[in-house]
């Protein structure tokens, strides 16, 4: 990678604030990408206090966010070009650089329509003479703990700004670059500084911010769901565990479609398919998926044609051991296709995760609900008697079937957040549709306004 190391400091109410507590953020190949100033608890508490005293719950003009999206995708910010940004994120997280490029465009598009995104998640405004309903922020401050796996979830905390919140962001340890760049773009576009703080740090800083803010937004795995999932003041975005149901004849086109759904963007997104339930010969489909997925190229993540994610060399052996444990008892359809198994070293020294396809006859077991940050998929049988049970707890269920009754039951299943029917990519959507419930509904609440009418 041709970029030089950068410096990332905490941002308090829009102002960069050097910290003496610093750490080196290294790429997966060991090269230094950034020197990151960490926010100690006192600094985090100072940010909370200053932002709370300045909070007015007013929303900036939507043009601020549209301009910020344009700057994020196309401008040099904090001495960093868009290409340097994408290379840093790819080198730090292991995600293919093409996925970061597409995410940059996605962020630009989303920030250009934040008003539409918010309005689409709320009921139509009610107003008759003398009576109105207004949706207003539930609080003044939101704490956001954001992930490393993909840049686009950062749009969620930007939307909170667009609804009048002040936002305290604890960036991911591997990707502070996306929140730092978004903060710079927003400030350059005219966001008032007292609306935003960026506070790099460990889990304890994230927990402290959530306890001090009015509302929290947390991205994380099962531990985060267990820690925060029962609180009504914290919105948890956990694993996707997205699934597909196949109840149509097995064709080459269907296999290609599933390969795309499993492996697009390196399989790092929450809406990549991680389980396929099959009404028919599930082993035959697993074999065909494994054969096709094994053809994906093994290239360094920063190569423009990269298709697979990388991990750190120090995690290679633990990953091999974990995969052995988690797939114990299942049939591995992939590993024998690779010289050294799914954890693979490239010629330039990177450790890549090659696709892993396993099959099981235990349709209702824990393996069917397992999600990993690379192209990993479990294939299992499905029968009419199983109904929606093995499809529960899914961000997306893709239904390749003519069973309209099943689609209706999936829509009525509370643990399924989105249903896609037919040969449509799982992440296909429109701005008017929710991704995972209603973010605006979580951040706002309805209040009544009654006015005295003028004498008739």
Q: Is residue 2 pLDDT above 80, yes or no?
A: no
Q: Is residue 226 pLDDT above 90, yes or no?
A: no
Average pLDDT value for the chain: 93
String of DSSP letters for 278-295:
ESS-HHHHHHHHHHHHTT
Q: Is residue 432 pLDDT above 90, yes or no?
A: no
| Per-residue pLDDT, 3 | 63
Q: Is residue 174 pLDDT above 70, yes or no?
A: yes
C-alpha 3 chain-centroid distance: 26
| pLDDT more than 70, % of the chain | 99
Residue 215 forms beta bridges with which residues? Answer: 142
* Residue in this structure with the two tokens 């120090």, named with its chain if needed: 314
Give the mean model confidence (pLDDT) for residues 178-185.
98
Contact 116, 433 (CB under 8 A): no
Q: Which residues are CB-contacts of 288 (< 8 A; sequence separation ≥ 6)?
A: 250, 255
String of DSSP letters for 95-150:
--HHHHHHHHHHHHHHHTTHHHHHHHTSPPPPEETTEEEEEEES-SEEEEE--SS-
Q: What is the pLDDT of residues 439-448, one digit of tens each?
A: 999 999 999 9
Q: Is residue 347 pLDDT above 80, yes or no?
A: no
String of DSSP letters for 404-444:
HHHHHHHHT-TTB--EEESS--TT---TTS-SSS-HHHHHE
- What letter does residue 452 receive in the DSSP assignment? P
Q: Which residues are CB-contacts of 306 (< 8 A; sequence separation ≥ 6)?
A: 90, 96, 97, 98, 266, 297, 299, 300
The pLDDT-based confidence of 201 (bands split at 50, 70, 90) is very high
Return d(Cα 207, Cα 123) in angstroms, integer: 32
Which segments of the chain belong to CATH 3.40.309.10?
Answer: 242-421
| Per-residue pLDDT, 279 | 95
Q: What is the pLDDT of residues 37-53, one digit of tens each?
A: 999 999 999 999 999 99
Q: What is the pLDDT of residues 62-80, one digit of tens each?
A: 999 999 999 999 999 999 9
* Residue in this structure with the two tokens 């290679």, named with its chain if needed: 316
Give the mean model confidence (pLDDT) for residues 390-400.
94
- What is the CATH architecture of 6-238+436-443? 3-Layer(aba) Sandwich (3.40)
Q: What is the pLDDT of residues 235-273, one digit of tens each?
A: 998 888 999 999 999 999 999 999 999 999 999 989 999
Q: What is the pLDDT of residues 116-125, one digit of tens each?
A: 999 988 888 8
Q: What is the pLDDT of residues 328-342, one digit of tens each?
A: 999 999 999 998 889
- For the domain 242-421, what is the CATH code? 3.40.309.10
Which segments of the chain belong to CATH 3.40.605.10?
Answer: 6-238+436-443
Q: Whose CA is closest to 444, among 112, 58, 54, 134?
A: 134
């Amino acid at each position: 990678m041709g970029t030089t190391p950068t410096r990332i400091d905490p941002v308090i109410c829009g102002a960069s604030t050097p910290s003496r507590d610093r750490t080196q953020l290294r790429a997966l190949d060991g090269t230094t990408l950034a020197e990151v100033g960490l926010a100690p608890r006192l600094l985090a508490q100072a940010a909370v206090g200053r932002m709370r005293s300045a909070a007015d719950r007013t929303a900036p003009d939507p043009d601020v966010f549209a301009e910020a999206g344009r700057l994020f995708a196309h401008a040099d910010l904090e001495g960093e070009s868009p290409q340097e940004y994408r290379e840093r994120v790819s080198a730090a997280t292991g995600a293919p650089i093409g996925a970061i490029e597409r995410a940059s465009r996605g962020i630009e598009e989303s920030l250009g329509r934040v008003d539409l995104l918010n309005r689409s998640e709320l009921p139509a405004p009610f107003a008759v003479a003398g009576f109105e309903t207004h949706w207003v922020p539930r609080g003044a401050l939101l704490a956001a703990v954001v992930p490393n796996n993909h840049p686009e979830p950062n749009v969620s905390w930007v939307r909170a700004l667009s609804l009048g919140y002040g936002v305290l962001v604890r960036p991911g340890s591997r990707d502070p670059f996306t929140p730092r760049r978004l903060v710079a773009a927003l400030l350059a576009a005219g966001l008032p500084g007292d609306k935003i703080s960026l506070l790099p740090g460990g889990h304890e800083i994230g927990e402290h911010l959530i306890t001090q803010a009015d509302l929290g937004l947390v991205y994380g795995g099962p531990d985060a769901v267990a820690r925060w999932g029962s609180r009504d003041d914290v919105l948890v975005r956990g694993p996707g565990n997205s699934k597909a149901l196949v109840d149509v004849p097995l064709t080459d086109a269907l296999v290609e479609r599933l390969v795309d759904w499993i492996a697009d963007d390196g399989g790092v997104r929450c809406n990549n398919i991680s389980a396929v339930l099959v009404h028919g010969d599930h082993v035959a489909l697993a074999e065909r998926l494994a054969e096709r997925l094994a053809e994906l190229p093994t290239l360094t993540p920063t190569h423009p044609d990269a298709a697979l994610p990388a991990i750190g060399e120090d995690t290679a052996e633990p990953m091999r051991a974990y995969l052995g444990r988690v797939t114990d008892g299942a049939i591995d359809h992939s590993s024998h296709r690779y010289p050294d198994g799914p954890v693979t070293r490239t010629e330039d020294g990177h450790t890549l995760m090659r696709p892993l396809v396993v099959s099981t006859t235990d349709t209702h077991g824990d393996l069917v609900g397992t999600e990993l940050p690379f192209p990993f998929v479990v294939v299992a049988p499905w029968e009419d008697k199983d109904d929606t049970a093995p499809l529960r707890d899914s961000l997306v269920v893709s239904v390749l079937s003519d069973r309209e009754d099943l689609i209706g039951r999936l829509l009525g299943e509370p643990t399924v957040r989105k249903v896609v029917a037919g040969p449509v990519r799982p992440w296909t959507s429109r701005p008017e549709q929710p991704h995972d419930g209603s973010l605006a509904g979580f951040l706002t609440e309805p209040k009544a306004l009654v006015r005295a009418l003028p004498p008739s």
